[in-house]
Amino acid sequence: MNTLEELLRPKDLAERVRAIVLGGRLIGVELSDVPYGDPHQQTEHYLLADSMAETLGRDVAIDETAFNVLLPDLVPSDGRRLKYFGRGLASGFNSPGLAWNLLAAQWIATPEKSQNYEVLRGFLNGLQERDFDLVHAILDDAANDAKLKTVLPILQSAVSLDARGVARLMKSLRSGDSPIYFYRNIDLRKTAGVLAPDDVRQLLLEIASKPDGAGIAVDMLNRRLALDKHEMRTTAGEILDAGRSMLTAWEFTRSNANFDFELGELAKNCLVGSRGYRIAQVMAKRLKLAVVAHQVPAHIHHQFITALVAMQPIALLNGLFGNGEVGWEQSCWMLQSACLDQGNPLDDMPMVKLLSWCAKKPALRYPIAASVIQPFRRAQQSEPLQWTELALRLIDKAPDRNAVLTQFMGKIMPQQRSGSRVEILTSKAKLIDDLMSHPDESVRAFLIKEKARFDKDLKAARDWETKHARESDQRFE
């Protein structure tokens, strides 16, 4: 076995690079004595491998023969440690500018399908610690190179972003030289104190203005806001303004449908106060129109609706229902669709706010509120269904209590087609009984009729299930 290991062990510098950097090989080299096991050991294992790759980069930088031998293989390779190898190259070359020219020329000469950026990015990342002015000069040249300008955002993402970098990216965005998805690599998290907030704002809005760029800009901003929160740092107003502008311009389309979580997170951070109210109302109305027009399905916007309930509940209601005279049924249907299998975010709306909203146009809004909340639930899984406090308050405060009860009765009747209809109806029968002692005579009269209809439906369901069970048993006899 020892003889086999000796045969497999790399013999020279180029072979070591191919084994560790290009091939990702970890066994049979110096790493053989690193124990495998728990995640901490594995982390140490890979950190050591990354450090070895960087050291190999420095060794190759001072070995011209090894560099020339390896150069054709550095760009097409998908080796996982090319970034660290590139860092080593940048720190080891006496003439890093010349080394970059050779690497870039090799990248340009490589067929597009085989091009890998990691050694270039690693080189720039390492070089910034040594000569950031040279990095800027390299990137300025790349921005004007017919081939390299197409990947400028990827190259720029390898180094810290400052005002010169933003100007370079803005020029690239306006020229349309790079695919918009390349800008997803730009990291704004560490730009606090380095970039002027207005530079961040302009960059985000420029990305968001491009086709398919809105979701990328939202994700970039969310990552910056999350770090600000983690580090307990106040986010500059200009950056929050960018978020509000992006939300104002957001279009609910199928191409943006996968950004529900990101949109919800941005809403939580930016839709505060009176300015947030106006934007939330406009967005709620826009979402409703998109769903009604079948441009997007409602259920994929649950996170965004939940965020609006938390931040601007009244704006959400006003945006969806307007004056309430026309089209409110469509808004109710949209909310119900958005809550399928995910819980109803409106159940978490502060009761006082919902009741206050209803009180401004009680004849219209109490039935609307009744249609969009879940009026009953179990305190514990083993306990019977009970009316929620909000449902009882809606009944008591509504000018037309029976209009509210009509909405609730629709929720009592089972909508799902799976499971035993008898079991579902039986579990809900007590809900009607609990309201039979209501002091309003018109309520009691309404419930008597509903109870008769409910009992009739329950009997029909029981008869059908009994008959179906009997026929099923006969088939197996």
pLDDT in tens, 354-390: 999 999 999 999 999 999 899 998 888 888 899 999 9
DSSP state of 145: S
Kindly list the domain boundaries of the chain, sorted by start residue: 377-477
| Of residues 300, 216, 210, 316, the one with CA closest to residue 253 | 300
Contacts 24+ apart (CB under 8 A), 101-110: 102/71, 103/71, 103/74, 103/75, 104/142, 104/145, 104/148, 106/71, 106/72, 106/74, 106/75, 107/75, 107/147, 107/148, 108/145, 108/147, 108/148, 110/75, 110/76
Out of 78-92, 234-248, 320-334, 339-353, which region has the weakest mean confidence (pLDDT)?
A: 320-334
> In this prediction, what percent of the chain has a pLDDT beyond 70?
89
Looking at residue 31, its pLDDT comes to: 47
pTM of the predicted model over 0.75? yes
Question: Which range among 35-39, 174-178, 254-258 has the greatest average pLDDT?
Answer: 174-178
Between 467 and 392, whose confidence is greater? 392
Number of helices (H), then strands (E), in the chain: 24, 2
Please, what is the end-to-end C-alpha distance for the chain in angstroms?
68
Looking at residue 6, its pLDDT comes to: 47
Q: How confident is the model at residue 424 (pLDDT cuts 50, 70, 90)?
A: confident
Q: Say yes or no to pLDDT of 137 above 80.
A: yes
Q: Note the helical H segments in 128-259.
A: 132-143, 152-156, 163-175, 197-208, 214-230, 237-249
3-class DSSP state for residue 77? coil
How far apart, in whole angstroms, are the C-alpha atoms of residue 121 and residue 86? 7
Q: Say yes or no to pLDDT of 182 above 80.
A: yes
How far apart, in whole angstroms, are the C-alpha atoms of residue 65 and residue 460? 89
Q: How confident is the model at residue 27 (pLDDT cuts 50, 70, 90)?
A: very low
Q: Say yes or no to pLDDT of 12 above 90.
A: no
Please state the rounded mean pLDDT for residues 211-238.
95
CA 245 to chain centre: 19
Please state the rounded mean pLDDT for residues 288-306.
88
> In this prediction, what percent of the chain has a pLDDT beyond 90?
64
How far apart, in whole angstroms, are the C-alpha atoms of residue 116 and residue 398? 66
Please state the rounded mean pLDDT for residues 389-407.
95
Q: Which two tokens stand for residue 27?
A: 């066994």
How far apart, in whole angstroms, are the C-alpha atoms of residue 69 and residue 33? 29
